Structure 1
């Protein structure tokens, strides 16, 4: 399974009063990694994939250990755990080579901004997502039906 690797800089403003990266900031880190991952096909390659928009339907986050501020970036690994007709699940680890700080997952729904409604995942998007599919999930429901959020 391929993982998307994102090098995320830490900012002085990310710290809380205890010198740790604030818990809410981790969601911003995940967002940066997710945007970098989902826009791999567009716009540089001329593909419209995911450029029409997407919305987050759910986040789950487990804080494994505190991350203290420093000048070196932290690594965020992302991979796909489920692809439905109109949603996908992305998992993450925020880590250094020797330790994990956060494990998280996000359900993302492609969104048609003009129509203001969810849309289906295109064949091109699905092909890209499958290259980052978790090997264990690939045997399961990787091509499942629509999610409850889709009308």
Structure 2
């Protein structure tokens, strides 16, 4: 299963050439990740931090007045981290493929923490094999 976030485009997202600046895509991924992780029913209220980002720009996204879809899913769940994969896309075009390694974090103790059983159960609903970002959506 994948989570979809409709990400609004803003005038300030454009660069001098009229398309969305590459750096802005990192903010888009953050917005999608927050929308996914911090929901009233299932969330990571104890906190988390980003350990790593990888981003592959496929094509330019020209500014427009309607949102772009960001699909995200989980490709790996470890004891104290998980990996989120993303596609920033329209129905017929992929602009960006990316991944983020997220580490649950205890801000009070100032240290990483293990994923709780409730968090693992939630994440497993979105788990797909690593090759799925190329269009082979295979459940793990």
Q: TM-score, normalised by structure 1?
A: 0.84
Shift of 1:52: 1.4
User: Which residue, 46, 55, 63 being the options, matches 1:61?
Assistant: 55
Matched length: 133
User: Aligned equivalents of 1:4 and 1:93: distance in 2?
Assistant: 11
User: Aligned equivalents of 2:111 and 2:17: distance in 1?
Assistant: 41
Residue-by-residue CA offset, 1:23-81 (whole Å, 9 max, x unaligned): 110000000000111123xxx23x6x411111000000000000000001000000000
Map of 2:79 onto structure 1: 85
Map of 1:4 onto structure 2: 3
Shift of 1:83: 0.2
Q: Any stretches of 5+ residues in structure 2 without a counterpart?
A: 132-138
Map of 2:136 onto structure 1: none
Q: Does 1:51 align with 2:28?
A: no
Residue 63 and residue 136 in structure 1: after superposition, are their counterparts in 2 closer, same or farther (change >3 A)? closer
Residue 136 and residue 89 in structure 1: after superposition, are their counterparts in 2 closer, same or farther (change >3 A)? closer
User: Secondary structure of the equivalent of 1:17?
Assistant: coil
User: Aligned equivalents of 2:120 and 2:46: distance in 1?
Assistant: 15
Q: Any stretches of 5+ residues in structure 1 without a counterpart?
A: 140-151
User: Aligned equivalents of 2:99 and 2:111: distance in 1?
Assistant: 22
**Superposition pairs of residues 2-151 of structure 1, within 5 angstroms:** 2-40=1-39, 44-45=40-41, 49-135=43-129
Which contiguous aligned blocks of 4+ residues in structure 1 show a shift greater than 6 angstroms? none
User: Secondary structure of the equivalent of 2:17?
Assistant: coil
